[in-house]
Amino acid sequence: MFRRAPDRMRDQVTFTFDGNPIVAAAGDSVAAALLAAGIQACRTTPVSGAPRGPYCMMGVCFECLVRIDGVGNRQGCLVPVREGMKVETQKGSYALPAEAGQ
Amino acid sequence: MTVNRRYPDPDIVIVGGGLMGACLAWGLSQQGLRVCVLDEGDIALRASRANFALVWVQGKGVGFPAYTAWTKGAAGAWPGLAADLKSETGIDVGLDQPGGFTLCLSDRELQASVDALERLHNQPHAVAHPYEVLDHSQTKLRLPAIGPEVSGAIYCPLDGHVNSLRFFRALHAALKVRGVDYRPGHAVAAVEPKEGGFLLKGPWGEVRAPKVVLAAGLGNAHLASMVGLEAPMKPSRGQIIVTEKASPFLRYPVVTVRQTDEGGVMIGDSEEANGASLAIDHGISSVMADRAVRMFPILADLNVVRTWSAFRVMTLDSYPVYEQSQTCPGAFIAMAHSGVTLAPQHAYILARAIAAGAIPQDVSVFGTRRFHVPARA
């Protein structure tokens, strides 16, 4: 759906999404890097489980939530991608520590 | 004058389409009346969209035992209301009544809560409600996520909560199913007693009906005197914080912290004597958030996604006002800050009374006569 403009390919960084390596440009947001790699769904909703992907790209809509380096519900559009970053699908709601549950 | 061909002339007009007005409209249509609801628009001051959504009995009615009874009755009638709305609209309002907690962050707080409940139960004509006083470890057995600063808790098995936005939507969906003439964008500027009824006017035109109910919340203040009624209120503002949705961790509602059926955590709700500004006071939000995190340390990791403030429909003594005008019979006023908890009483008992044209003895204790006790020398 998205194609990277030729003059926008700066230094490359590599990160993983659900374990698969993805090459991005330094300075990309996580959400932009996912879209550029053709990934459209990065989370499932807590209520219905429907797949969702980045939408507003400016920190408002919360559609781009992902797990980043083990921390859930990060807004992918507000986090610059970094070398070696481990990004994962945010499945449903933020998982609180198990010992807190009942 | 607005000509509305879809609906015949109403038997009764309700001013206000919030939880109070919608419950009454629903109940009155069940009594076979043709009901018209004149409501403001989306940006109206509307506690119905801002409340904390508790169905709460614990501690209510100090100095007014009839209010304890009225509230207990409401909690008992809630499952019936939820079931009626489900069968009429298919909407599940998320009612959950597992009992509720007041968590205390010091022994002094716990003692103050216990003292208040003892006052409630020792007053003349007291109406009792069940409760338990729990220490830290007894509380932790039922609420494993509490932090070390929680010194104890009060638990009342009658308490619960609901998804109040879905409840509000269900009521309006039910009004539509029943053919109630609901008119948004119809703020009422004046109510005039006329031969055999009332004339309601606004920039949109006018409507005439033999009966009228003022259920306009804060708006009752300027409407009541037009039909010989009173709406004694005091300013009361509350703030609420909402977090992102999280996996379930809180089985029971706590009076200031609850996890909704969809996973978001609501942190409430301040009580400020402010009737002027809705600007968020971050000092107050900070105290609310800090107390919530001390109660449940895992909340510290959650992002806040919304905060808001709203005005309560708070009467002078905080108890409801239900009354029929003596000088203009057929005009009623109904207002209460516990529009969620008391919803079944409004939808069933109060609506039936208004349809019958008389407020029964046990409900008339909520009239404004109580504000006119002569001051003692």
Name every residue in A having a CB less than 8 A away from some CB of B: 46-47, 62, 73, 92-97, 99-102
ipTM of the complex: 0.75
Residue A2 within any structural domain of the chain: no
Share of chain B above pLDDT 90, in %: 91
Q: Do A47 and B298 touch (CB under 8 A)?
A: no
Q: Do A94 and B249 touch (CB under 8 A)?
A: no
Contact yes or no for B146/B295 (Cβ under 8 A): yes
pLDDT at B13 > cutoff 90:
yes
The total of structural domains in chain A comes to 1
Residue B3: per-residue pLDDT: 53
Distance between CA atoms of A83 and B240, rounded to whole angstroms? 39
Q: Give the nearest chain A residue to B260 (CA atoms).
A: A47
Same domain, B283 and B317: no
> Which residues of chain B does A63 touch, with a Cβ-Cβ cutoff of 8 Å?
none
Share of chain B above pLDDT 70, in %: 98
> Which residues of chain B does A99 touch, with a Cβ-Cβ cutoff of 8 Å?
144
pLDDT at B12 > cutoff 70:
yes
Same domain, B356 and B223: yes
Same domain, B141 and B193: no
Q: Do B246 and A92 touch (CB under 8 A)?
A: no
Q: Give the nearest chain A residue to B296 (CA atoms).
A: A100
The total of structural domains in chain B comes to 2
> Which residues of chain A does B305 touch, with a Cβ-Cβ cutoff of 8 Å?
62
Domain range for A40: 7-92
Q: Give the nearest chain A residue to B142 (CA atoms).
A: A102
Same domain, B249 and B353: no
Domain end residue (candidates: B286, B311, B336): B311
pLDDT at A101 > cutoff 50:
no
Same domain, B226 and B241: no
Q: How far is CA A97 from CA B103, B127, B247, in A?
A: 21, 42, 9
Residue B269: per-residue pLDDT: 82
Query: What letter does residue B346 receive in the DSSP assignment?
Result: I
Same domain, B207 and B238: no
Residue A12: count of CB within 10 angstroms of its CB: 10
pLDDT at B43 > cutoff 90:
no
Q: Give the nearest chain B residue to A94 (CA atoms).
A: B246
Q: Do B144 and A99 touch (CB under 8 A)?
A: yes
> Do the strands B181-183 and B35-38 form a parallel or antiparallel pair, or are they unpaired?
parallel
Same domain, B154 and B276: yes
Distance between CA atoms of B280 and B289, rounded to whole angstroms? 14
Contact yes or no for B11/B210 (Cβ under 8 A): yes
Residue B78: count of CB within 10 angstroms of its CB: 22
> Shortest CB distance from A73 goes to which of B248, B249, B303?
B303
> Which residues of chain A does B262 touch, with a Cβ-Cβ cutoff of 8 Å?
46-47
Domain CATH number, residue A34? 3.10.20.440
Residue A39 within any structural domain of the chain: yes
Which has the closest alpha carbon to B278: B84, B69, B44?
A: B44
Question: Predicted confidence band at A95 (pLDDT cuts at 50, 70, 90)?
Answer: confident
Domain CATH number, residue B245? 3.30.9.10
Contact yes or no for B336/B321 (Cβ under 8 A): yes
Same domain, B182 and B81: yes
| Nearest chain A CA: its distance from B223 CA (Å) | 40
Q: Do A95 and B301 touch (CB under 8 A)?
A: no
| Cα A94 from chain centroid (whole Å) | 14
Which has the closest alpha carbon to B168: B254, B89, B67, B241?
A: B89
Residue B204: per-residue pLDDT: 95
Q: Do A101 and B263 touch (CB under 8 A)?
A: no
Q: Do A94 and B248 touch (CB under 8 A)?
A: no
Residue A102: per-residue pLDDT: 43
Q: Do B249 and A102 touch (CB under 8 A)?
A: yes
Contact yes or no for B287/B293 (Cβ under 8 A): no
Residue A98 within any structural domain of the chain: no
Domain CATH number, residue B3? 3.50.50.60
| Nearest chain B CA: its distance from A73 CA (Å) | 8
Same domain, B116 and B201: no
Same domain, B164 and B307: no
| Nearest chain B CA: its distance from A68 CA (Å) | 14
> Which residues of chain B does A93 touch, with a Cβ-Cβ cutoff of 8 Å?
244-247, 263
Contact yes or no for B146/B131 (Cβ under 8 A): no
Contact yes or no for B217/B49 (Cβ under 8 A): no
The sheet that has B257-259: what strands, in order across it?
B257-259, B264-267, B237-245, B304-311
pLDDT at B203 > cutoff 60:
yes
Distance between CA atoms of B268 and B226, rounded to whole angstroms? 36
Residue A3: per-residue pLDDT: 87
Domain range for B109: 99-159+234-311
Q: ∠ CA(B86), CA(B88), CA(B92), 5° rounding?
A: 20
pTM of the shown model:
0.90
| Nearest chain B CA: its distance from A99 CA (Å) | 8
Share of chain A above pLDDT 70, in %: 95
Same domain, B1 and B75: yes
Contact yes or no for B223/B332 (Cβ under 8 A): no
Find where tokens 């035992």 sit.
B65
Domain end residue (candidates: B278, B311, B344): B311
Q: Do A96 and B249 touch (CB under 8 A)?
A: yes
> Which residues of chain B does A94 touch, with a Cβ-Cβ cutoff of 8 Å?
244-247, 263, 302
pLDDT at A22 > cutoff 80:
yes
pLDDT at B1 > cutoff 90:
no
Burial (CB < 10 A; 0-12, 13-18, 19+), residue A25, is: middle
Question: Predicted confidence band at A98 (pLDDT cuts at 50, 70, 90)?
Answer: low
> Shortest CB distance from A46 goes to which of B144, B245, B302?
B245
> Shortest CB distance from A94 goes to which of B144, B262, B302?
B302
Interface test with B, best of A90, A91, A96, A102 (most B CBs within 10 A): A96
Name every residue in B having a CB less than 8 A away from some CB of A: 144-145, 244-249, 251, 262-263, 296, 298, 301-303, 305
pLDDT at B2 > cutoff 80:
no
> Do the strands B35-38 and A65-68 form a parallel or antiparallel pair, or are they unpaired?
unpaired
pLDDT at B254 > cutoff 70:
yes
Same domain, B115 and B11: no
